[in-house]
Each structure stands twice: as C-alpha cells, then as structure tokens.
C-alpha cells in the first residue's frame, strides 16, 4: 500500500544537476510550477496552465515533466523524450516553458523538486499549479502536508471531479487556508499555507482516454 508520509529534508537532491535545473528565472518573477506525467499532454493540461497564468498574473508557467510518477505504472508511461515533445506541442501560449528539471536534479517527489527550486531561485515567487483531479488524490502524495505549507497552491477545476476535489482530504484539512478566487492574483505574494480553487470552462480531454484511444487504433 502507498504510504503518503513526510518527505525527508534533502539539501541537495540527486545529482550535480541540482544546481543546473535548466531554467532561466529572474528575481521577482511570478512563476507557476505545473507538474505531471503528461502521458500524453492534451488540451486540458494547456487549459489548466493558461487559466493559472492569466488568473494569477504569472510571468511564466513551467511544465515539469516527471521522469516517473511514483503513483503510476512505469509500464504505461511513455519515455521522457516522448512526453516532453507532447508537452511542448501543447504549451504554446505566452510564458509557457517545458522543462526536464526533475530529471536534471534527480528528484522523485514534488516536495523535493519545490525545495530545490526555491533554494536555487530564492527571490522567485513560486506557485504550485494542479488540476482538480490532482487535488482529489493529493493526500496520496509523499509530503503533501509539507508541500501545502511551503508553497502557495492554485487548483483549476476539471470535468467530473470538482465536487470530489473540494471534499477531498487535502481540501478539508487546509480549508481555513483557502482564499477566495477573487484574490487569485495575490496568491504568489501570500505566505503558505494558502490556496485557491479556480473555476473555468471545462476541457474534457484526459491522458487516460487518449492512451486508450491510441491502444484501440494500434490494435
């Protein structure tokens, strides 16, 4: 069984690439970190990223393509190069950056990635971005309570999951730290824990449905 325990505090995660995450970020920038497998990326991902960029008034949104999500099977995950290309095909609007930073720094969990980037870019204002489907299962992430206390979080609504997400263990546990969506633009300047839930028109694509369609096409 998966145990979503606390993450260890690791001063320098993984390899020497910790100091070379391959991102050009200037002091004072407001930057969203949008992590995922992107297996494959689709319009729903682009919608979440663009909604957060616009509502939070971000300078950049960094799509952090995970080497391997510990909650998902490696047998169903395409190679990193393929998923990076898929993300780049959808991250086309202003301020979008697709990155293999997690592979470079050798982090396995999101909390490790966030800590490394915050240490590497101490004057950048980071926000973690995720779809409502991720919030629904957020309590299964290693170090999820630590993550909520170390970086502001923006959640963007996704089809069929909004009610479940708002009733999730993470949403209930941090309910008193939820800010009204009218304050979304202030989120990058807030001291965590602080999070917002952003409603938005739905994009109905999903990676699971796309993979199933590709399997049917190739069979």
Phi/psi at 175 (5° precision): -60, -40
Contact predicate 214/205, CB 8 Å? no
Task: Write down the pLDDT at residue 8.
Answer: 60
pLDDT for the residue 214:
41
In this prediction the pTM is 0.85
Sign of the Cα torsion 104, 106, 110, 116 reads negative
Please enumerate in sequence order all residues whose Cβ is within 8 A of that of 12, keeping only pairs 6 or more positions apart, or say none: 18, 116
Residue by residue, pLDDT tens for the chain (219 residues) are 234 566 666 555 444 444 567 899 999 999 999 999 999 999 999 999 999 999 999 999 999 999 976 656 556 789 999 999 999 999 999 999 999 999 999 988 999 999 999 999 999 999 999 999 999 999 999 999 999 999 999 999 987 777 889 899 999 999 999 999 999 999 999 999 999 999 876 554 544 443 344 444 444
* Backbone φ and ψ of 72, nearest 5°: -125, 155
What is the model's pLDDT at position 19?
52
pLDDT of residue 160: 76
Residue 191 is predicted with a pLDDT of 98
């Amino acid at each position: 069984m998966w145990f979503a325990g606390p993450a260890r505090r690791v001063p320098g995660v993984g390899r020497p690439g910790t100091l070379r995450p391959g991102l050009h970020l200037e002091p004072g920038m407001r930057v969203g970190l949008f992590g995922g497998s992107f297996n494959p990326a689709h319009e729903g991902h682009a919608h979440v990223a663009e909604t957060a960029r616009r509502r939070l008034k971000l300078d950049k949104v960094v799509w952090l393509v995970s080497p391997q999500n510990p909650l998902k099977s490696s047998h169903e995950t395409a190679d990193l190069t393929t998923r990076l290309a898929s993300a780049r095909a959808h991250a086309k609007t202003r301020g979008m950056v697709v990155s293999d930073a997690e592979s470079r720094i050798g982090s396995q969990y999101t909390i490790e990635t966030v800590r490394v980037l915050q240490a590497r870019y101490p004057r950048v204002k980071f926000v973690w971005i995720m779809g409502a489907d991720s919030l629904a299962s957020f309590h299964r992430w290693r170090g999820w309570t630590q993550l909520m206390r170390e970086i502001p979080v923006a959640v963007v609504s996704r089809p069929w999951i909004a009610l479940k997400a708002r009733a999730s263990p993470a949403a209930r546990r941090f309910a008193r730290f939820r800010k009204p969506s009218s304050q979304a633009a202030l989120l990058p300047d807030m001291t965590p824990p602080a999070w917002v839930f952003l409603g938005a028109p739905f994009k109905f694509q999903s990676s699971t449905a796309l993979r199933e369609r590709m399997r049917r096409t190739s069979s």
